[in-house]
Structure 1
Amino acid sequence: MYLTDEAQHYADQHTTPESALLARLNRETHVQLLHARMLSGHAQGRLLSMLSHMVRPRRVLELGTFTGYSALCLAEGLTDDGLLHTVEQNPELESRIRRYVQEAGHEARIQVHIGDARHVLGGLAETWDLVFIDADKINNDTYYELVLPQVRPGGFLLIDNVLWGDKVLPSYSPKPSDKDTHAVRAFNDKVQADDRVENVFLPLRDGLLLVRKR
């Protein structure tokens, strides 16, 4: 459920501005890449940054880097010895991601992994304070189950696109072949019933699920 252009403009005007570097990455993504709405963008990026500052994570995991905007936002709240691991499946995006990580001065604080997150996660022996899942939606449950045991008690997960263009709403009848919609619906229902966590569904942009591990 995206805001109207007028409402989004008003919200952006009453949200701390993105940095010049993030603004350039935002514009470059929209000008040069298809599916640019996959980028977190100004308002959601500032929310990710604020949540990171609130948690002050030492270890952050991101699944689905895209062009690196959200990783840069999440890195803003890291502790002095903090480290963010971000995983992107598309190798064509790697040079752009690394260029912006370097320009932000975060080469030592952001580790970029290119590959299937299900395989990459097996090589990361970390305890996560904060996790952002924004990868292929059909595997949300797989990523959730792989990551949750590695999240510290009291740690947080954020899962993006949980409104899925309003297709998860009861009034919408997806076709049986619409596997992504069925997967997102089932995932949302699972988290709601999961007594391992507490959760809040935030209707920001395309829906953001905020989860705290008990």
Structure 2
Amino acid sequence: MYSPDDAQRYADDHTSPESALLARLNRETHVQVLHARMLSGHAQGRLLSMLSHMVQPRRVLELGTFTGYSALCLAEGLTPDGLLHTVEQNPELAGRIGRYVAEAGLEDRIQLHIGDARQLVPALAETWDLVFIDADKINNDTYYELVLPQVRPGGFLLIDNVLWNGKVLPFHAVKSADKDTHAVRAFNAKVQADVRVENVLLPLRDGLLLVRKL
């Protein structure tokens, strides 16, 4: 019987490699930035890129830029006139994000907003083809309701960390009493019952929820 770690290593070995720029950002984040595990990383980054290429979005919204890895991956599938808006609450990360966006030659394709997404997103007069939510988990439902009306019919939302280190699973129901776990579990249940969308939860890394607006 193989272990999950063995399966993950095999999957990584059979996934297209990240670019040299992304590999450098990956390494730099793990060496220099706190909470580096928040980075999307190789396998999830390639999935984000693949999904973006499949959707071919003209407008992408990301909530939770961190060091910019996922934004760079999502931008790979933009249409020629496409634009990605990404929102990060921590201003200390802005310089690093800007540097890597510039090195990727995407200054005109990725627009960084620093601040609270709840205030910034309503001011963006866009219709979204693809949205990636990877911010504070306790506000997943708030962000979902904020952006869903702006997503075009047939558009997609991706929500990260929906397994929350496994704490949302039924056998953790008693032990996992923290508010973030309750919020993620309630959010997952809400999306499952939401007649406005269809959804698939992928057990990739910490769980990625794929949602299509009907």
TM-score by length of 2: 0.96
- What's the offset of the Cα at 1:8? 2.5
Return the alpha-carbon distance in structure 1 between the equivalents of residues 6 and 114 of structure 2: 37
The share of aligned pairs that are identical, in percent, is 84
- What's the offset of the Cα at 1:123? 1.1
**SS in structure 2 of the partner of residue 49 of structure 1:** helix
* Aligned 8 A contact 1:174 1:182 in 2: no
1:175-194 deviation per Cα after TM superposition (whole angstroms, max 9, x unaligned): 54x11000000000000000
User: In the alignment, what sits opposite 1:122?
Assistant: 122
Q: How does 1:1-214 map to 2 (within 5 A)?
A: 4-172=4-172, 173-174=174-175, 176=177, 178-214=178-214
* Aligned 8 A contact 2:168 2:176 in 1: no
How many residues matched? 211
* Aligned 8 A contact 2:167 2:176 in 1: no
1:16-51 deviation per Cα after TM superposition (whole angstroms, max 9, x unaligned): 000000000000001111211100000000000000
1:152-187 deviation per Cα after TM superposition (whole angstroms, max 9, x unaligned): 0000000000000000001002454x1100000000
* Aligned 8 A contact 1:201 1:207 in 2: yes
**SS in structure 2 of the partner of residue 171 of structure 1:** helix
* Aligned 8 A contact 2:61 2:84 in 1: yes
Q: Which has the higher contact order (CA 8 A, sep 6+)?
A: 1
Return the alpha-carbon distance in structure 1 between the equivalents of residues 167 and 62 of structure 2: 25
Q: Which structure 1 segments of 5+ residues have no match?
A: none
Cα RMSD of the aligned pairs, angstroms, is: 1.0
**SS in structure 2 of the partner of residue 80 of structure 1:** coil
- Stretch deviating more after TM superposition (92-101 or 28-37): 28-37
* Aligned 8 A contact 2:61 2:131 in 1: yes
**SS in structure 1 of the partner of residue 34 of structure 2:** coil
Q: Which structure 2 segments of 5+ residues have no match?
A: none
Distance 1:167 1:175, change over 3 A: closer
TM-score by length of 1: 0.96
- What's the offset of the Cα at 1:4? 4.4
Give the aligned residue type for 2:188: N
Return the alpha-carbon distance in structure 2 between the equivalents of residues 196 and 86 of structure 1: 25
- What's the offset of the Cα at 1:9? 2.3
**SS in structure 2 of the partner of residue 165 of structure 1:** helix
- What's the offset of the Cα at 1:7? 2.9
